[in-house]
């Protein structure tokens, strides 16, 4: 029996704002969308165009309060070829929330407070 990764889910307050953030910050594009017939929820699946893993963004129409992310120890991780340029871009966007210079990584924060770890692509 084999299992493969499909997606991770983040619940968001403003779907369009989140989609725009992920496009600008990470180049993710919307692949497909599910909308409830009664308009109670919308789910958008984002992808990087290179892997099959997706980020599922769920918007609930009756949700008005920010989500409680607790200690926010759960995060996504993405790698990038040129981490120096990526860090510069994310600093210009104002979304860098933590840098670990000793490890050569950093984190960005999306509009709902979710953290995304940015790591350099490993050579070899």
Using one digit for the tens of pLDDT, what is the confidence trace for 79-88? 999 999 999 9
67: in domain: no
- 28 within 8 A of 110, measured Cβ to Cβ: no
Cα–Cα distance list, 78 to 13, 34, 66 (Å) = 23, 25, 24
pTM of the shown model: 0.93
Question: Which structural domain, as residue segments, surrounds residue 93?
Answer: 7-62+72-120
Helix (H, G, I), strand (E, B) or coil at 22: helix
Residue 103's pLDDT band, with cuts at 50, 70 and 90, is very high
Pick the catalytic residue from 30, 56, 99, 117: 117
Q: What is the CATH number of the domain that holds 97?
A: 3.10.180.10
Give the Cβ contact number of residue 1 at 10 Å. Answer: 2
Distance CA 60, CA 41 (A): 4
90 within some domain: yes
- Between CA 69 and CA 105 the distance in angstroms is 22
Helix (H) or strand (E) holding 17: helix 15-26
With a cut of 80, say whether residue 72 has pLDDT above it: no
pLDDT over 60 at 109, yes or no: yes
Percent helix, strand and coil across the chain, each to the nearest 5: 20, 40, 40
Considering its fold, how many domains does the chain have in total?
Answer: 1
- Look up 85 and say whether it is catalytic: no
């Amino acid at each position: 029996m084999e299992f493969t990764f499909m997606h991770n889910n983040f619940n968001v307050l403003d779907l369009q704002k989140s989609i725009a953030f992920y496009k600008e910050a990470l180049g993710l594009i919307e692949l497909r969308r599910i909308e409830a017939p009664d308009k109670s929820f919308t789910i958008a699946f984002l992808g990087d165009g290179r892997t099959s893993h997706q980020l599922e963004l769920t918007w609930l129409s009756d949700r008005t309060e920010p989500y409680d992310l607790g200690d926010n120890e759960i995060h996504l991780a993405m790698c990038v070829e040129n981490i120096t340029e990526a860090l510069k871009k994310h600093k210009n966007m104002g979304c860098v929330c933590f840098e670990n210079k000793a490890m050569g990584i950093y984190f960005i924060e999306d509009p709902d407070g979710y953290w995304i770890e940015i790591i350099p692509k490993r050579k070899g």
